[in-house]
Amino acid sequence: MDLEKRLREFKQTADQAILREMDDTAELEERILGKARGGQKTAERKFGHRSLYKVGAAAVAAASLLLFSGPLFGPSNPAPGGHVTTGPGPVDPVPADPPSLPAGTAPTPPAPGTSPGIGQPPGTDQLSGPSDEEIQNKVQEIKEALRIGLTQEEVKKRIQAPYNVVDDNGDLENGADEFWNISFFKQEGYVPEEPEYVVDETGLKARKVGLNLFIGWKEKKLYMYSIQYVQGEKNDIYFYMMRPNGTVGMEILNERPSPSVLDLGDSLKNAYFGFVETKKDGVLYGLKPADILKLYLHAEEEGDLLTQYAFYADGGDDSAKPSLEAFLEDVKNDPAGAENTQKRLADLRAHVIGFETKEQKPESPSGQKSKYLAEAIVYMQFSDGREALPFRLVKNQEGVWKVSWMPIQ
């Protein structure tokens, strides 16, 4: 059969088959039009605030003392070497190549420009403190502005707010050699009880401070950071962390995580830590495909990339698998991907309610023997009725189930 002819028929087949349910786009059109209009308002407000700072920074800073701490915020007895920047203002987004926003969050919702940084003037509605939306917008702005590897000068330019240099007394032991703390939406005169390198749960819970940004530096370059902020009627404390390897984590500190079928029982925990320690497949011998899936997702949640990589099957049908170095580099350079991964994992944790495993003979190109003994698809079933999500594993020559490269099919 003529390949060219087949290709010319592709359009018709695609329309009839692949794209058959894509005719009704009315809802999407309305969504886009609505978002575009909202986005325009946002941009105008941002611009308005920036102008205000330019023309009257001093007046603005004085007025802000009514509610928010001025330049000398933070503990009354700042750590030695403590330093405060000038020029309070909003967080500047990354000027070049901003990250793709995760699915469904596209334009920033209205009002990020109204979220006050330190020294910003309180508006009428700010007398009762910042709204959840304002805090959330500030979180988003910070995430967009910060990247692993930025210099201190670059960060100061992007986050124009006063910072405190924090002395951790060597307690943190996380590889960073310098720490900064930046508070947003902080009440005037508020001094946290805890040292600045400890999450200020009391202050956040009481909304005496809305958001703390804690940055770890290594050799004057951004090494890791966390954002702690308050949200909701119950004043939940959210803890978001960008790890040095580029993965992100998120948890609500005052809430025990809901039980999930992805939780590891004691025996799986033992297997997990054994594998973390040794990376030897033998530790996983006898585990079922669904067990390996749980362990793999756990490594991903933990941001343990070396362990995650070790769960992948070697070569063979998975020849697209990159080297470990390329894998690590990929993650480090893709904050948007890390963000998406964290969201998807949280979704799986919240909604997967069971597994169904189907084993089959390994797929192989015709006439060739697969290097795997078997192949399994674990279907993750969801509480909200969506279609089961297949996850592929293969059994290697040692009889151990390993994760197929790009496992979700």
Partner 1 sequence: MRKLEQANIRLEKTKEAVFESLVRGYVKKILRLVYLIVKDRNLAEDITQEVFLKAYKNLSSFREESSMQTWVYKIAVNESKKYLRSWSFRHLFFRAEVDVEVVGDTESAVLQSDSRIRFARLVMSLPPTHRQIIVLHYYEELSIEEMADILDISAGAIHTRLHRARQKLREQLEKEGLEWI
Q: How far apart are CA 325 and CA 53, in angstroms?
A: 45
The overall longest dimension of the chain from CA atoms, in Å, is: 81
Q: Which two tokens stand for residue 332?
A: 């480090």
Q: Which two tokens stand for residue 186?
A: 């902080």
Nearest to partner 1 of 226, 340 (CB atom): 340
Applying CB under 8 A, the span of 62-70, 213-221, 276-284, 326-334 interacting with partner 1 comes to 326-334
Contacts with partner 1: how many residues (CB under 8 A)? Answer: 52
Applying CB under 8 A, the span of 121-129, 195-203, 277-285, 335-343 interacting with partner 1 comes to 335-343
The reply to whether 323 sits near partner 1 by the rule CB under 8 A is no
Report the nearest approach of partner 1 to the CB of residue 9 (Å).
6
The reply to whether 20 sits near partner 1 by the rule CB under 8 A is yes
Q: Residue 374 pairs with which residues in a beta bridge?
A: 395
Question: Buried (b) or exposed (e) across 183-208, using 16+ Cβ within 10 A?
Answer: bbbbbeebebeeebbebbbebbeebb
The reply to whether 361 sits near partner 1 by the rule CB under 8 A is no
Q: How far apart are CA 377 and CA 356, in angstroms?
A: 8
Binder among 28, 72, 206, 324 for partner 1 (CB under 8 A): 28
Q: Which of residues 92-151 bind partner 1 (CB under 8 A)?
A: 100-101, 103-104, 106-107
The reply to whether 80 sits near partner 1 by the rule CB under 8 A is no
Report the nearest approach of partner 1 to the CB of residue 265 (Å).
24
Q: DSSP of 104-138, one letter per residue?
A: T--SPPS-GGGS--TTPPP-GGGTT---HHHHHHH
The reply to whether 306 sits near partner 1 by the rule CB under 8 A is no
| Contact pattern for partner 1 over residues 339 through 358, marking x by CB under 8 A | -xx--x--------------
Nearest to partner 1 of 32, 62 (CB atom): 32
Nearest to partner 1 of 235, 370 (CB atom): 370
Distance of CA 255 to the CA centre of its chain: 19
> What 8-state DSSP symbol labels residue 220?
T
With 0-12 / 13-18 / 19 or more C-beta atoms within 10 angstroms meaning exposed / middle / buried, residue 313 is buried
The reply to whether 31 sits near partner 1 by the rule CB under 8 A is yes
Instruction: Indicate the residue type of 169.
Output: N
Q: How far apart are CA 280 and CA 164, in angstroms?
A: 44
The reply to whether 51 sits near partner 1 by the rule CB under 8 A is no
Report the nearest approach of partner 1 to the CB of residue 17 (Å).
5
The reply to whether 55 sits near partner 1 by the rule CB under 8 A is no
Q: Which two tokens stand for residue 262?
A: 């992805």
Q: How far apart are CA 36 and CA 40, in angstroms?
A: 6
Nearest to partner 1 of 19, 206 (CB atom): 19
Instruction: Indicate the residue type of 106.
Output: A
| Contact pattern for partner 1 over residues 186 through 225, marking x by CB under 8 A | ----------------------------------------
Q: Which two tokens stand for residue 67?
A: 């509610």
Angle between helices 324-332 and 335-351 (to 10 degrees): 90
The reply to whether 337 sits near partner 1 by the rule CB under 8 A is yes
Applying CB under 8 A, the span of 14-22, 110-118, 233-241, 258-266 interacting with partner 1 comes to 14-22
The reply to whether 392 sits near partner 1 by the rule CB under 8 A is yes
Report the nearest approach of partner 1 to the CB of residue 39 (Å).
6
Nearest to partner 1 of 40, 278 (CB atom): 40
Q: How far apart are CA 192 and CA 162, in angstroms?
A: 16
Q: How far apart are CA 222 and CA 216, in angstroms?
A: 6
Binder among 2, 22, 323, 385 for partner 1 (CB under 8 A): 22
Q: How far apart are CA 217 and CA 154, in angstroms?
A: 13
Contacts with partner 1, residue ranges (CB under 8 A): 1, 3, 6-14, 16-23, 25, 28-29, 31-33, 35-36, 39-40, 100-101, 103-104, 106-107, 330-331, 333-334, 336-338, 340-341, 344, 365-366, 392, 406-409
